Structure 1
Amino acid sequence: MTSIRTTSVGEVRDLIIATLDRAGVPQPDVDAELLIGHVLGLGRGELQAAVVMGRQVPGKQLADISAIAERRATREPLQHILGVAPFRSLELAVGPGVFVPRPETEQVAQFAIDALGALPDPEPIGIDLGTGSGAIALAMATEVPHARVFAVENSVDAFIWARQNFTRVGASNAILIFDDMAHALAELDGQASVVISNPPYVPDAAIPRDPEVRLYDPHAALYGGEDGLDVVRQLSETAARLLRPGGTLIIEHGELQGEAIRDILTNDGWKAAATFRDLTQRDRTTTALRA
């Protein structure tokens, strides 16, 4: 992108929107306002007010805006540039090496939050397997404060980001553990009320369409074997070990995988396997009950 010469917030915004649009960035207007606001220290509403008022941008900040807009035009994730990603009521630190939490996962987390919150147990146990940034686990811990929440991650890079977020959020009822899913939390066998996971579920031969995913999300967080369900099979085994009878398993997955996951769970002895759609009417979440 050519250097920005104008000093009007409105003109700068229009230039960046056009640049991001040419690069194929979805919602270029939103990203442009977030990028400019990041440099100027303004929220989107404040930035829009600055446009109306004809506010000018100092030269140093123009250079900073130009630099990060150039990065976004290469399809580097917005969240990597800003250093944070929103998730429900939280703002989480993210960057290279960790999966960026998606809006659709907020609805998946709601299943776990509802299940934990509805239990008569004064201190129910929830477990997030493959926690990544810690998004689901920290949402559970902050929204169901009487629960004990355990988060498991086996990627060193992701664990570093999760640890930063656990410190950032400061939920005293949440515990982060570095371990492999297959062997984690043996001391809690048969005690958990909810196990949730957003496992890697992209088939190995599939190529994600969006450059932000294809080029920047860690492969270990994306790919799940030939049919994408290898980790789901392990998850079924581990969750059966951890959950008490009647406990709930919640799995996020791709829109075409609900039937196959229900078959895996049913064959493994789970009860009442059911798949639910997200807000775009795509299959997104499958739940089942421990027999």
Structure 2
Amino acid sequence: MSGTPDWSRAVRSATTRLAAAGVSSPRVDAELLAAQVLGVDRGAAVAAVLRGDAQSAAHARAFDRLVDRRAQREPLQHLTGVADFHRVRLRVGPGVFVPRPETELLVDAVLSAVESREAPRIADLCTGSGALAAAIAEARRRAGRPAQVHAVELDPVAHAWARENLEPLGVHLVLADAADCWTHLRADFDAVVANPPYVPAGQVPDQTEARADPEIALYGGDVSGTRIPLRIAAAASRLLRPGGFFAMEHDESHAESLLASLQVTGDWSGLRGHEDLAGRPRFVTATRAATTSRVGEWNNGPRD
């Protein structure tokens, strides 16, 4: 590839190589890597490819290096430094979970639940890169009805990425264990959303790139992978006002067991499982019950 004289041939060759390496979207990835080298967006890179613009020697070397790394299945987002998620662009890299498109369904669920409320208070537990909090805050801002968004992250490395993504949006970020976050945040939230670690212990992610995600963001704490999600749900029940909305992503193997475990707590009404666009069980929603086993704890914690 080093002798490729123009971007058209370079991207075509890179596409062939990435496809052979098992990359699921080889042409798109090749174009995005070209855009990264050129310092332009993908549209401008595609235009350069269509015109057959000449490659400089420096650009050819840089492109070759990125294609080599992507062919070894290093995540594309680690190479470009960004991940696009529900109309926001996040800074990401090694040490933080790369958000997935299916998680955007949680954003839509929360936005719908609080649509009629002025300045709703929303908490994102296990925020990682800040993806859910950023997307919700930005969507409300664009609608001209800002929300009070808070985010909680335990891991210092992920917290640093979240801070970079959330500070410009005015999101209040807390470095803490989300399972105990009700001691850091005033309760009476209108909505709580979470994409916690939920992969069953010992299970290797199917997608090669997912293996680059930090284990702390993947594994749910026990053989079933439900220990951490259930702790997060318990924390959410302390944070929410009666009638408040809860949405949490889960492993597809949790569809029945997680709903059953949440039902017996008495903390929730209207429990409902949801599928992703591929028809796989993906997340659960519920409403905070008016009376629960944790009555008297709704307003615990400092005022924020």
Could you tell me the TM-score, scaled by structure 2's length? 0.89
Between 1:54-63 and 1:34-43, the stretch displaced more is: 34-43
Which residue of the other structure, out of 101, 107, 113, is the alignment partner of 1:109? 107
Equivalent in the alignment of 1:15: 13
Taking the aligned partners of 1:176 and 1:184, their CA distance within structure 2 comes to 11
Between 1:21-30 and 1:142-151, the stretch displaced more is: 142-151
Equivalent in the alignment of 1:195: 192
* 8 Å contact kept, 1:236–1:268: no
Taking the aligned partners of 1:108 and 1:187, their CA distance within structure 2 comes to 24
- Give the drift of 1:142: 1.6
**Is 2:248 aligned against 1:251?**
yes
SS in 2 for 1:251: strand
Equivalent in the alignment of 1:151: 151
Taking the aligned partners of 1:242 and 1:209, their CA distance within structure 2 comes to 34
Equivalent in the alignment of 1:261: 258
- AA paired with 1:112? V
Equivalent in the alignment of 2:293: none
Which residue of the other structure, out of 203, 225, 230, is the alignment partner of 2:227? 230
- Give the drift of 1:228: 0.7
- CA spacing shift, 1:52–1:187, aligned 2, 3 Å: closer
**Superposition pairs for residues 1-291 of structure 1, below 5 Å?**
3-119=1-117, 122-145=118-141, 146-167=146-167, 170-172=168-170, 174-186=171-183, 188-214=185-211, 216-224=212-220, 225-269=222-266, 270-291=268-289
CA RMSD of superposed structures (Å):
1.4
Equivalent in the alignment of 2:302: none
* 8 Å contact kept, 2:182–2:238: no
* 8 Å contact kept, 2:134–2:166: yes
How many residues are matched?
283
- AA paired with 1:200? P
Per-residue CA distance 1:199-227 (angstroms, 9 max, x = gap)? 1111012111222112x100011111210
Taking the aligned partners of 1:131 and 1:153, their CA distance within structure 2 comes to 5
Could you tell me the TM-score, scaled by structure 1's length? 0.93
SS in 1 for 2:253: coil
* 8 Å contact kept, 1:125–1:148: yes
* 8 Å contact kept, 1:98–1:217: yes
Per-residue CA distance 1:166-211 (angstroms, 9 max, x = gap)? 23xx123x10010111221436454111011001111012111222
* 8 Å contact kept, 2:88–2:138: no
